[in-house]
């Protein structure tokens, strides 16, 4: 099942505002994409709590400038993220739950 995640304020195609992509979630979605985290799993009962916790952590993080700078790099190593990101353990959890070996993010 594919779900659209809107790039503006509002609800996804099923009317779930919790899945919106807004300014507060910019870093989380960029991070998920960089490390290959499947965003469709946000609606999976086995991973939705981890997604919610990770998104909440990103929203309250004071390191967004460092995060954006890191995500702007061609290649991102998880240990670089872990050096400043309070939610790095949640990223690793999501990767493991999706069967992805944590390490180096995708090239941009």
DSSP per-residue codes, 15-28? S-GGG---GGGHHH
pTM of this structure: 0.67
The pair of three-digit structure tokens given for residue 13, joined into one six-digit string: 């195609």
The confidence score (pLDDT) of residue 97 equals: 84
Q: Given phi > 0 = left and psi -120 to 50 = alpha, else beta, which region is 5?
A: beta
How far apart are alpha carbons 33 and 107 in whole angstroms? Answer: 10
CB within 8 Å of 23: residues ≥ 6 apart: none
Q: What is the pLDDT of residues 21-36, one digit of tens each?
A: 456 688 899 999 888 8
Instruction: Give the start-to-end residue ranges of the domains of the chain.
Output: 23-97
């Amino acid at each position: 099942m594919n779900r659209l995640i809107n790039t503006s304020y509002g609800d996804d195609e099923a009317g779930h505002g919790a899945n919106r992509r807004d300014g507060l979630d910019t870093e989380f979605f960029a991070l998920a994409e960089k490390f290959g985290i499947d965003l469709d799993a946000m609606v999976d009962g086995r991973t939705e709590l981890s997604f919610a916790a990770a998104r909440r952590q990103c929203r309250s993080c004071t390191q967004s400038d460092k995060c954006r700078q890191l995500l702007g790099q061609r290649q991102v190593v998880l240990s670089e993220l872990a050096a400043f990101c309070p939610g790095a353990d949640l990223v690793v959890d999501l990767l493991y739950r999706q069967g992805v070996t944590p390490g180096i993010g995708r090239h941009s």
